Amino acid sequence: MPFPYYDNLSAVKKRIYRISDAIESIPVKNLDGIHPLIIKLKKSLEDNNRRDVAKHASEICLFVCEGLDIETLIVKISSRRPSRSTEELHGLYECTEGEPSVLTVWMKTAAKGQVVAFKSFIRTVLHELCHHIDYTYFKLDDSLHTEGFFKRESFLYRQIVPAELQKGGTQNSRSPQKRIENEKSKEQEQMELF
């Protein structure tokens, strides 16, 4: 069942939505060796070391892009999230024809300036990376937030994050449908910032 915003889409966007919704996984090859990068990213984030966080996040995105044989992208890790009243922007994917795509993720909360929890941070990186994959691998004309999109994001998370880092926390205790609804709500709030 499509998300409610589907009814407001043009016929072209509805077609893209249905294609996106039907894709539930990402066939990344050669993921051997990515777990140490994930562990390094977690450590760098916990140490509040933005330079190393940027390095490791870039390496992870490069690893995934190479595993899909798609063009790489520029990864920027910025400090404090931009916000408007109670809303915060977690990540942003930008693509401009003829230029490298850019993935930006903020590593500190807007309200208190605290370093974001690892699971939230890596999921944001993967969320924005999934937009890149939609355009470059699946060749979609738009990257819409469909149930399929969120399933692809979760699939990628389960593939690259070591099992011991996936355990516990609220993200995994929620049902997939609740997580999808929560992510959709967050994304609508983020989109209103710009």
pTM: 0.84
pLDDT at 170: 42
Which residues form the domain of 47? 4-192
pLDDT of residue 81: 82
Least confident of 5-19, 122-136, 180-194: 180-194
- List the beta strands (DSSP E) in the chain: 74-80, 83-84, 87-88, 91-94, 102-108
pLDDT tens-digit map of 118-174: 999 999 999 999 999 999 999 999 999 999 999 999 999 999 999 899 875 444 334
Q: What is the pLDDT of residue 168?
A: 55
Of 157, 156, 159, 132, give the one whose Cα is nearest residue 143: 132
Task: Using DSSP, state whether 75 is helix, strand or coil.
Answer: strand
In angstroms, the CA 172 to CA 76 distance is 27
Question: Are 45 and 52 contacting, i.e. CB atoms less than 8 angstroms apart?
Answer: no
pLDDT given for residue 82 in this prediction: 81
- How far is CA 138 from each of CA 60, 96, 110, 130, rounded to the nearest angstrom? 20, 17, 33, 10
Asked if residues 23 and 148 have their Cβ atoms less than 8 Å apart, the reply is yes
Q: List 76's β-bridge partners, or say none.
A: 104
Task: Give the model's pLDDT for residue 111.
Answer: 83
- Domain count within the chain: 1
CA atoms within 13 A on the CB side of 58: 14
